[in-house]
Amino acid sequence: MRKLTTKLLFAIISAAFALVALGTTTFAWFTLSDTAQVSQFNAQITAGEGIEISLDDETYYTTIPASVIQGKITELNVSLKDVTSTDGKTFKYFGAQSPIVYDTETKNPYIEFDLYVRSPEANAKIALNDYTFSSIDGETSGTKWTADADFISSFGGPVEAGYEGTYYAHAALRMSLTPVNGGSEGVAQVYQAPGVDNVNKVISTEPIPQGMVSYYKAKNGENSINISDVTIADALTSASSTEIITLSSTPNEASVIRVRVWIEGWDPDCFNAILNSKINVSFGLKKVVDQG
């Protein structure tokens, strides 16, 4: 039987971006604001021994400068909005039938970029080593928010209007890592925050009636939202040992991992409490080897 084991930590990507409430229009799952803007994205991408990484397949680094990463995010023209995905690759707005077209000429509602990976070792297998999501701004973790309606929290407890609690934007976050070969995308690995210390309510492919759904009904009426027949991408809560991609059989020829980060609208923590929050994302890649 093949066993995948860690051989070398290859790359670490860390990022921080803020969710800022803009305007007062009701849209999708948020009931007070339709837009969460990327106002800050500080990132570091480093590579270990025997690997180089790039954001444009032209200039390769062992450590990608923060200015290069910031320039890439600016180029993407992202203004985060709550969207949903069944596979971590295609996205829709609330109630929409057609998928969102990613176009840097207009504001994009989620983050998407290609990470180019190359190595002098042919056919090297690359897997996720570890990842973390957090909602830390300086020394403060989470966001204080005062409820403006009675509803049931994502963990099932009652929340009364006027109660101030701490909420975590990263609980609604999703990240997918997708291999791209010959221009075609393979199966995405999708991740959510683990269920630790009652911070994130882990869900599978079906939304739950607590949290966002309960709050939305409290603000808009009992029949304002329906979760029957809704399916979302199944998201893991720990790094998979299965490789994301096998690098080229030609040494030092680049392969592509497509990275996407979004706010899942059907997540029970995707409601007004997470606006004006900062989300931090980091993940590392590793090389794995086959063993008999």
Token pair of 49, please?
A: 């021994």
CB atoms within 10 A of CB 163: 12
Rounded to 10 degrees, the C-alpha dihedral 158/274/233/199 comes to -60
More confident residue, 22 or 101: 101
Residue at 144: amino acid letter:
K
Sort strands 82-83 and 255-264 into parallel, antiparallel or unpaired: parallel
Angstrom distances, CA of residue 187 to CA of 46, 178, 245: 25, 6, 10
Token pair of 181, please?
A: 């070969």
User: With 60 as the cut, is the pLDDT of residue 204 above it?
Assistant: yes
> Among residues 46, 105, 101, 117, which one has the least CA distance to residue 75?
105
> Among residues 6, 19, 38, 192, which one has the least CA distance to residue 113?
38
In DSSP terms, which residues pair with 177 in a beta bridge?
189, 259
Q: How far, in Å, CA of 260 to CA of 283, rounded?
A: 12
Q: How far, in Å, CA of 284 to CA of 175, rounded?
A: 13
Token pair of 196, please?
A: 């630790």
Q: How far, in Å, CA of 16 to CA of 42, rounded?
A: 5
More confident residue, 86 or 292: 86
> In degrees, to the nearest 5, what angle opens at C-alpha 174 toward C-alphas 70 and 290?
95
Angstrom distances, CA of residue 51 to CA of 75, 111, 121, 183, 252: 25, 24, 9, 22, 9
Q: How far, in Å, CA of 95 to CA of 265, rounded?
A: 11
Token pair of 210, please?
A: 């607590």
User: With 90 as the cut, is the pLDDT of residue 210 above it?
Assistant: yes
* pTM (predicted TM-score): 0.86
> Among residues 169, 155, 174, 180, which one has the least CA distance to residue 86?
174
Region 43-63 average pLDDT:
73
Token pair of 78, please?
A: 């992202």
Q: Of 47-51, 83-87, 104-108, give the range with the top mean pLDDT.
A: 83-87
Q: How far, in Å, CA of 108 to CA of 81, rounded?
A: 8
User: With 90 as the cut, is the pLDDT of residue 106 above it?
Assistant: no
**Mean of the per-residue pLDDT values of the chain:** 81
Residue 11 · residue 284 · CB < 8 Å: yes
pLDDT for residue 142:
84
Percent of the chain with pLDDT over 70: 79
Confidence of residue 284 (pLDDT cuts 50, 70, 90): confident
138-153: pLDDT as tens digits:
667 888 999 999 999 9
